[in-house]
């Protein structure tokens, strides 16, 4: 496992700036990897790790940077819960830990870096040195990762009866006997203005 400093430097580069979220994300990942016994997540252990992040904020980029798990590789899943927490799964052993950043750590940062008056700067520096117990809650959990969520070739490809888009990995829904994409089934996040021909 690389050092905290090296991992933080890398995540800062990937994320584009240094912030408290990078420190939290790097430390959270290091803690989880240690507990799961995976010390080479981007090398020999790369097919063993699966992460589920509960928030789309700064720390998520750090988790991606340290673990090598990404949305595109399907080794990272985002569940939109808005909680600064992530679950790390060892797919080989099924051991899983959920790590949550503790709200109290914000206040506790004064104990470590009280001389820094700017709140954000103080938290950033304090999070580098605070003990894990004061930063995180850790739970042993069980996660069922459905096979259609795992990396690898798509398990299915079907066409939407309404719009003609192709749907992979069992995300289709059935409505009155018709196979539909989720958008056509009512879960559309956009409104078509017109279809462009030509570019």
Which residues in this chain contact Zn ion in the complex, by CB under 5 A? Answer: 19, 21, 58, 160, 162-163, 181, 184
Shortest Å distance, C-beta 94 to Zn ion? 32
Residue closer to Zn ion by CB (options 11, 75) is 11
Shortest Å distance, C-beta 92 to Zn ion? 32
Nearest alpha carbon to residue 44 among 92, 111, 85? 92
Q: Tell me how far the alpha carbon of residue 51 is from its chain's centroid.
A: 6
Handedness of CA 11, 82, 123, 19 (dihedral sign): positive
Burial class (CB within 10 angstroms; exposed 0-12, middle 13-18, buried 19+) of 190? exposed
Shortest Å distance, C-beta 10 to Zn ion? 14
Shortest Å distance, C-beta 30 to Zn ion? 18
Residue closer to Zn ion by CB (options 189, 198) is 189
Assigned token pair, 95? 């051991």
Assigned token pair, 151? 């990396």
Q: CB neighbours of 196 closer than 8 A, spacing ≥ 6?
A: none
Euclidean distance between the first and the last CA atom of the chain, given in angstroms as a whole number: 48
Residue closer to Zn ion by CB (options 60, 75) is 60
Residue closer to Zn ion by CB (options 92, 165) is 165
Shortest Å distance, C-beta 160 to Zn ion? 3
Residue closer to Zn ion by CB (options 67, 90) is 67
């Amino acid at each position: 496992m690389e050092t905290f400093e090296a991992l933080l430097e890398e995540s800062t580069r990937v994320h584009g700036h240094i912030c408290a979220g990078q420190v939290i994300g790097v430390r959270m990942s290091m803690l989880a990897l240690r507990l799961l016994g995976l010390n080479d997540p981007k090398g020999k252990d790369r097919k063993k790790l699966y992460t589920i992040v509960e928030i789309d904020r700064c720390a998520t980029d750090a988790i991606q940077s340290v673990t090598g798990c990404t949305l595109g590789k399907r080794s990272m899943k985002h569940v939109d819960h808005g909680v600064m927490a992530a679950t790390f799964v060892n797919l080989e052993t099924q051991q899983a830990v959920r790590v949550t950043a503790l709200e109290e750590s914000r206040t506790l940062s004064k104990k470590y870096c009280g001389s820094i008056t700017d709140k954000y700067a103080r938290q950033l520096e304090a999070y580098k040195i605070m003990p894990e117990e004061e930063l995180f809650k850790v739970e042993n959990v069980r996660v069922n990762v459905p096979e259609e969520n795992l990396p690898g070739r798509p398990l299915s490809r079907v066409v939407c009866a309404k719009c003609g888009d192709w749907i992979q990995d069992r995300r289709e829904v059935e409505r009155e006997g018709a196979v539909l994409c989720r958008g056509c089934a009512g879960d559309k996040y956009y409104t078509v203005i017109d279809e462009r021909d030509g570019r």
